[in-house]
Amino acid sequence: MKNLLILGAGTAGTMMANHLTKKLPKQEWQITIVDQHETHYYQPGFLFLPFDIYTEDQVKKDGTKFIPKSVEYIQKKIELIQPEANCVQLEGGEQVNYDLLIIATGSTIAPEEIEGMDGPMWHKNIFDFYTYEGAKALRDKLREWEGGKLVVHVTEMPIKCPVAPLEFAFLADSYFKNKGMRDKVEITYVTPLDGAFTKPRAAKALDYLLEEKDIKEVTSFNIERVDYENNKIIDYADVEVEYDLLVTVPTNMGDSVIERSGIGDDLNFVSTNKGSLQSKEYENVFVIGDATNLPTSKAGSVAHFEAEILTENILRYIKGEQLEEAFDGHANCFVETGNGKALLIDFNYVHEPVEGTFPIPGIGPLRLLKESKANHLGKLAFRWVYWNMLLKGVPIPFVSAKMNEKGKKLETVNT
């Protein structure tokens, strides 16, 4: 019996367990998945929780329900990955040996990277919304907040779901309008990038929306520290931005087990072949989702597309066949723009987000890079798709792992 070990039962790890259990012969392969947490969070829901659009129960479920029965689930902390010895050490001294390893340990926020960020004002008037605790604390704060300067801030790239902070700013605009207090709130969007988004083409469409919603923009802001006593953020060029309420996306880093094991970069992301998803250092180790160092978005849609390709490559690897460098960096994101509308962007390693239709070329029903109510409904419907199809590895009709180039006005990125 051979052992396939998956580290992390988040979006990517859970999908891999579901895909592989259907494909690997049960007499030959035992699949094991390790995660220290019992709860599986619907992370896209963290954007809606602060605005009372989603309830707590809508964004979390018992994670074990999504792991197939034939897969062994170990709920323990991972202490060390030892790829030279093909084994993993768990808390309490348990050792798990593997023939094939999939690292799906994700990414998490590291507010301690910036001086003053997670000090005494953390979750008092400085919040994140990338964790369940942060999003919930922020919801409680917003319910009673009487207005002032709201600063939505991105610390450094890369971050999980790079559009989320912008969506937060758009939804905040709607939220305060609905509460009849938009005139009491000044919203400022602060980013280390040149513009609103990482891709210039989409940034143009998004900059326009910021202007329309009277959201001020501060770009090229590389934060040095948070002066929590005087309520301002300060960058290396000594530019200061004052806030009454700071909603920040802290530095995103890979799991600390990657650092402990010495297998990641400065941000604890694992060096991964961008086409095959195999580790660059160990041939029987594969990496998926936010844990990789790939130059594409860290997002559930990316993990979803990667999962299909990685499943095929693992089957090839087991048969001793050549791996296919098939992953094209495909990402697909709904961008909430407030007032019941959203836009949709679709891009990969080489193509910028473009205008067109999705998922069926020429038909849609969703329009790319254009605001619409249908896109918003798509985003809300996606929660059901996530729990009922995506995690379980059920194919989503018309949505393919590789970006479809039909029905789109394509523009290649200059590199």
Could you list the residues that contact another protein (CB under 8 A)? 156-158, 162, 192-193, 198-199, 220, 222, 224, 236-237, 266-267, 294-298, 413-415
- The least CB distance from residue 198 to another protein, in Å, is 4
Based on CB atoms, which residue is closest to another protein, 198 or 231?
198
Based on CB atoms, which residue is closest to another protein, 157 or 394?
157
Q: Which amino acid is at 329?
A: G
| C-alpha count within 13 angstroms, C-beta hemisphere, residue 276 | 20
Show contacts of 132-140: CB within 8 Å, 24+ apart: 132/41, 132/46, 132/49, 132/59, 132/60, 134/46, 134/109, 135/46, 135/47, 135/49, 135/50, 136/49, 136/56, 138/49, 138/50, 138/247, 139/49, 139/50, 139/51, 139/52
- The least CB distance from residue 207 to another protein, in Å, is 16
Which tokens hold the place of 197? 């988004």
- The least CB distance from residue 399 to another protein, in Å, is 21
- The least CB distance from residue 158 to another protein, in Å, is 5
The answer to whether the Cα torsion of 308, 312, 318, 320 is positive or negative is negative
- The least CB distance from residue 220 to another protein, in Å, is 6
Based on CB atoms, which residue is closest to another protein, 118 or 173?
118
Buried b (16+ CB within 10 A) or exposed e, 75-99: eeebbebebeebbbbbeeeeebebe
Based on CB atoms, which residue is closest to another protein, 99 or 224?
224
- The least CB distance from residue 192 to another protein, in Å, is 7
Based on CB atoms, which residue is closest to another protein, 193 or 385?
193
Based on CB atoms, which residue is closest to another protein, 121 or 193?
193
